[in-house]
Every structure is written in structure tokens, then in C-alpha cells.
């Protein structure tokens, strides 16, 4: 008999925590998981999944408009936010149920409550119950970061945006990253007047400059306003319920909703980590090694709480690697090289590998290839929106070290192309592949 109640206690039933729990249990471990919000975590409940469904919903605005050019007689359409919102939330409920079932079927005990650490091998639940475990995995994810300024309480974050009572006519979005650009596209397609307000002069830092510029240009053409170098000063709530946003270096803006999308911070506050000696970095993230182990040997962490790459599939890989290494006798280290990513803006972006600037810095001698084209569908629709594909090649080896795309379905195409980049294929390998015509993806093998 073990001296512990469980072999593994997981705090947080999001993407990383659920994967780790399920796999550890399948390796024979006795596992429990505590979740204070809802099983599924950020991605399923208030992130990737409901966001992608809103992106689909929003894109109908363009599809319905363009359909007329393809011969469809489309009556005037009206968008009903509450119908979409409720359908999306119902889908979220369904997925939450499936996640719960997965844990049940793997005999993982679920405590739907908050757990905090009271020792290297002990947690306390909100009702006071104390539980011991040989190992503890922290998978508590991140939480929206809201800068401090007067009136910030009037703003919403990505936590609340899926639950709005009605569609705001005017939206101000703070930040220039993933969430800001994705929701700018969503609200703009629904007909809201959108203004993105950024503290700097760059959107989507980390993405290739040409691709960012293309999104900026297309977004502005679609009617999204951008204010750069304009940090928030305050938000004032007016008597009629509207909000006035005061900015540095810029006129005030009145809006019906203000969405703050200025990054996410690791969810480590109040967990008792520091009291038992778990080291955190300057952002409050749990410091872990390649094996996901913290400075306290019995405590591990995976996912956004470690602030490595804040992406769901990465958290899932980390959860799997942890469980296989610790409970499956199969030491596994996650490979963070060439992780593909996407921004589900309108149009979307997909990218893998180095940007041109990174490649120049790291490799010195590179070749770049671009295809700047209008998708066939956009041509017939009369939509003056150009896609841009860009390939970065190491001049010394001919290896493709980066692919960056903006255009219809770019993430879908990029996922397959990322296999080639990950496998270290060369430009010659791309060239040797016969084009699949007519498609947008064929541009990847026709780059000159
Ligand atoms: P991002 O890190 O993408 O962008 C944050 C933005 O906020 C940047 O423009 C940044 O400016 C700005 N900012 C940061 N701090 C401040 C501050 N104190 N005051 C004003 N502005 C500030 O964060 P998001 O919130 O958009 O998304 C959070 C994370 O969630 C992402 O990093 C991503 O990992 C994940 N995510 C992934 C998605 C996907 O895969 N498609 C979709 C949505 C989220 P600056 O550039 O100057 O630092």
C-alpha cells in the first residue's frame, strides 16, 4: 500500500492537465485532478474552440456577400448575435462533458474545486480536505493580464467576450497580439466599428514583418481603425452606459465595449507555491527543466503556467511527455523547434520556423521567396484582397527554415507544409513536388 492517497494530483483540468491525468492513469497511476472553473480549461471553455466558432460565424458575412457574384440570389441577411452565442456556448458545454467523460473512463477522480499546495506532497481543497500525492502537477494555465489604469473594471477580457448580452456597436480593443487581431476581425465582420489601440507601433510581434504589414493593410481596408503608440490612460463610464476611453497621444474614443487583450500571465497566485520553495520567474511562471520538474522534486508543471510557448498543442505535448516520462517508463522531452502557429484573423495567418529577420541574424546568408497573389475565389468575387506566402531558405544548405502565409485557409495549408519544414526538407524538395492545380497551396511549390 502506498503511503499517499494518490500517485499523482493534478491542479487544473485544461489541455495539459487532462492529457497528463489521462495518460498517467493509463500507465496505471492513481490520479486525481482539481479544477476550480470548468473541465476543459481556457482552450475549450473560453479560448481556441469558442473563438474559432465565432471566426466561422463571422466569415459568413463575406461569404454571403461574395455568393452574389457566384450567381446566388441572396436576400438581405441579418446577423443575430444571441443565436450564435448560445449555439457556441452549447457546443462548449458538450465538449466539457466529453472531457469529463474521458477523465471518468480513465478512473481519474475529479474534484470540482480549488486546490492549493500545503506541502511538497500535499494539497488542500477549498472545503478544507487535505489530500496527499507522491507527485503533484501544476497545470493551472494563464489568466488575462489587465494593465492598471483608472476605470479598467469597465473593460472585459477574453473571459467575458463570449457571453456578451448584445453585440456592441463600437468596440475598442487594447493590444496588438493574437486576441486583439482575432476579435477585431470577428467584431468587424459582424458589423461593429472596431478600433485597435496598441501601446507600441507593431501588431503581432514575433510574426514576419511582411505578413504583419499585409494583415494591417487588409484590416484597415476592411474598416478596422488602428491607434498606435497610444497607451490607455483611463476608461470613463458615461450615464448612458457607453464608455469613453482616454488615451495618451490620441483623442478619446467612445465605445459600447472595451476588450483588453494585453497578454496572459501564468496562473500561480495564491497556490502556495512560494511557501514550499517552488521557484517562479519574474513573470510568476513556474521554472521547470526539460523534464517539466520544478525546483521541488515532487512538483511538476506543464502548459501556460510555465510560460514556455502559450499554445494548447504545446501544453498537450508537455502533459503527455510528463506522464510518459514519470509513469510510463518512457523518458520524453518536448521538441520546441518549428512549432507552427496561426492567427485566426480575417484573413488568417499561418507560420512555422524563422522569420526573415531571425534567419538573417542566425544564419547570415539566406534566400527568400514570395508569392503575392489574389485567390481565384477573391478575383471572381471582386474582393481586392491579396494573399502572401513567404519562404525562407538557408542559402548554405537549401533547407527551408521558415514559411509564413496570410490568406484564405492559410492555417490549414500551413499545418501540412510544417511537416516538410520540421523534416528539414529543402527548396529543391518543394520544387520537385508537382503542383496541385488549381489551389492556393500550389504556390508553395511554384515559388521562384
Ligand atoms: P499577445 O502576447 O499575443 O499580445 C499582447 C499585446 O498586448 C501585444 O500587442 C503587447 O504589446 C500588448 N501589451 C502587453 N503588455 C501591455 C501593457 N502592459 N499595456 C499595453 N499593452 C500591452 O497576447 P494576447 O492577449 O493577444 O494572447 C495571449 C496569448 O494567448 C498569446 O500569447 C497566445 O500565446 C495565446 N493565444 C493564441 C491564439 C492562437 O494560437 N491563435 C489565439 C489567442 C491567444 P507589445 O507588442 O508592445 O508587447
CATH number at residue 237: 3.50.50.60
Q: Is the CB of 312 under 6 A from ligand 1?
A: no
Rounded Cα–Cα distance for residues 76 and 355 (Å): 43
400 and 280 inside one domain:
no
Q: Which of 199, 206, 304 to mutate to test the pocket of ligand 1 (most atoms within 8 A of CB)?
A: 199
The verdict on residue 364 lying in a domain is yes
* Residue minimizing CA distance to atom 2 of ligand 1: 263
Say whether pTM exceeds 0.95. yes
**Cβ proximity of 443 and 381 under 8 Å:** no
Q: Is the CB of 176 under 6 A from ligand 1?
A: yes
120 and 64 inside one domain:
yes
Strand duo 366-374 + 299-301: pairing: unpaired
The verdict on residue 363 lying in a domain is yes
Helix extents (H) in 341-392: 356-363, 376-381
Ligand 1 atom with minimal separation from the 179 CA: 26
CA of 199 to the centre of ligand 1 (A): 11
The verdict on residue 299 lying in a domain is yes
The cell for 394 is 538557408
What is the per-residue pLDDT for 309? Answer: 96
18 and 134 inside one domain:
yes
CA of 205 to the centre of ligand 1 (A): 9
The cell for 336 is 520546441
The cell for 75 is 436576400
139 and 270 inside one domain:
yes
Domain boundary among 245, 262, 279: 262
What is the total count of domains within the chain? 3
Q: Is the CB of 341 under 6 A from ligand 1?
A: yes
**Is residue 404 among the annotated active site residues?**
no
Rounded Cα–Cα distance for residues 81 and 310 (Å): 29
CA of 107 to the centre of ligand 1 (A): 37
Q: Which domain holds residue 306?
A: 6-143+265-327
Ligand 1 atom with minimal separation from the 311 CA: 34
Neighbours of 416 (CB within 10 A): 11
Ligand 1 atom with minimal separation from the 264 CA: 28
Backbone angles phi, psi at 244, to 5 degrees: -110, 125
What's 3's DSSP letter? Answer: S
* Residue minimizing CA distance to atom 25 of ligand 1: 263
CA of 124 to the centre of ligand 1 (A): 33
Ligand 1 atom with minimal separation from the 147 CA: 18
CA of 232 to the centre of ligand 1 (A): 15
Q: Is the CB of 313 under 6 A from ligand 1?
A: no
52 and 82 inside one domain:
yes
pLDDT, one tens digit for every residue, the chain (448 residues): 789 999 999 999 999 999 999 999 999 999 999 999 999 999 999 999 999 999 999 999 999 999 999 999 999 899 999 999 999 999 999 999 999 999 999 999 999 999 999 999 999 999 999 999 999 999 999 999 999 999 999 999 999 999 999 999 999 999 999 999 999 999 999 999 999 999 999 999 999 999 999 999 999 999 999 999 999 999 999 999 999 999 998 999 999 999 999 999 999 999 999 999 999 999 999 999 999 999 999 999 999 999 999 999 999 999 999 999 999 999 999 999 999 999 999 999 999 999 999 999 999 999 999 999 999 999 999 999 999 999 999 999 999 999 999 999 999 999 999 999 999 999 999 999 999 999 999 999 999 9
Rounded Cα–Cα distance for residues 105 and 70 (Å): 49
Q: Is the dihedral of CA 194, 200, 205, 209 positive or negative?
A: positive
Backbone angles phi, psi at 97, to 5 degrees: -60, -45
Neighbours of 287 (CB within 10 A): 14
What is the per-residue pLDDT for 82? Answer: 98
- Provide the terminal-to-terminal Cα distance of the chain, rounded to the nearest Å: 67
Amino acid at each position: 500500500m502506498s503511503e499517499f492517497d494518490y500517485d499523482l494530483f493534478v491542479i487544473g483540468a485544461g489541455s495539459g492537465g487532462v492529457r497528463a491525468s489521462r495518460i498517467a492513469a493509463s500507465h496505471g497511476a492513481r490520479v486525481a485532478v482539481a479544477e476550480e472553473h470548468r473541465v476543459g480549461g481556457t482552450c475549450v471553455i473560453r479560448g481556441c474552440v469558442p473563438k474559432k466558432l465565432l471566426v466561422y460565424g463571422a466569415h459568413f458575412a463575406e461569404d454571403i456577400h461574395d455568393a452574389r457574384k457566384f450567381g446566388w440570389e441572396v436576400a438581405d441577411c441579418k446577423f443575430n448575435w444571441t443565436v450564435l452565442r448560445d449555439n457556441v456556448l452549447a457546443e462548449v458545454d458538450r465538449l466539457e462533458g466529453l472531457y469529463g467523460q474521458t477523465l471518468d473512463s480513465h478512473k481519474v477522480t475529479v474534484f470540482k474545486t480549488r486546490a492549493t499546495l500545503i506541502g511538497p506532497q500535499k494539497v488542500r481543497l477549498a472545503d478544507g480536505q487535505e489530500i496527499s500525492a507522491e507527485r503533484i502537477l501544476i497545470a493551472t494555465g494563464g489568466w488575462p493580464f489587465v494593465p492598471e489604469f483608472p476605470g479598467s473594471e469597465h473593460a472585459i477580457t477574453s473571459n467575458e467576450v463570449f457571453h456578451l448580452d448584445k453585440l456592441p456597436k463600437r468596440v475598442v480593443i487594447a493590444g496588438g497580439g493574437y486576441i486583439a487581431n482575432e476579435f477585431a476581425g470577428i467584431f468587424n465582420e459582424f458589423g461593429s466599428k472596431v478600433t485597435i489601440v496598441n501601446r507600441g507601433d507593431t501588431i503581432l510581434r514575433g510574426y514576419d514583418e511582411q505578413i504583419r504589414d499585409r494583415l494591417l493593410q487588409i484590416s484597415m481596408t476592411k474598416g478596422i481603425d488602428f491607434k498606435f503608440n497610444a497607451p490607455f490612460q483611463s476608461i470613463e463610464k458615461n450615464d448612458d452606459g457607453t464608455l469613453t476611453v482616454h488615451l495618451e497621444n490620441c483623442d478619446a474614443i467612445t465605445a459600447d465595449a472595451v476588450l483588453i487583450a494585453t497578454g496572459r500571465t501564468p496562473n500561480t497566485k495564491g497556490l502556495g507555491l512560494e511557501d514550499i520553495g517552488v521557484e517562479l520567474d519574474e513573470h510568476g511562471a513556474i521554472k521547470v527543466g526539460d523534464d517539466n520538474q520544478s525546483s521541488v522534486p515532487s512538483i511538476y508543471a506543464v502548459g501556460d503556467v510555465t510560460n514556455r510557448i502559450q499554445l494548447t498543442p504545446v501544453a498537450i505535448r508537455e502533459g503527455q511527455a510528463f506522464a510518459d516520462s514519470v509513469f510510463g517508463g518512457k523518458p520524453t522531452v518536448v521538441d520546441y523547434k518549428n512549432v507552427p502557429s496561426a492567427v485566426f484573423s480575417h484573413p488568417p495567418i499561418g507560420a512555422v520556423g524563422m522569420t526573415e529577420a531571425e534567419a538573417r541574424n542566425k544564419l547570415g546568408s539566406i534566400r527568400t521567396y514570395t508569392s503575392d497573389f489574389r485567390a481565384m475565389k477573391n478575383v471572381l468575387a471582386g474582393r481586392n484582397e491579396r494573399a502572401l506566402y513567404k519562404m525562407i531558405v538557408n542559402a548554405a544548405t537549401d533547407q527551408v527554415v521558415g514559411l509564413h502565409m496570410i490568406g484564405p485557409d492559410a492555417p490549414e495549408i500551413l499545418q501540412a507544409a510544417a511537416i516538410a519544414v520540421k523534416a528539414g526538407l529543402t527548396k529543391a524538395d518543394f520544387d520537385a513536388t508537382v503542383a496541385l492545380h488549381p489551389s492556393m497551396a500550389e504556390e508553395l511549390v511554384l515559388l521562384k
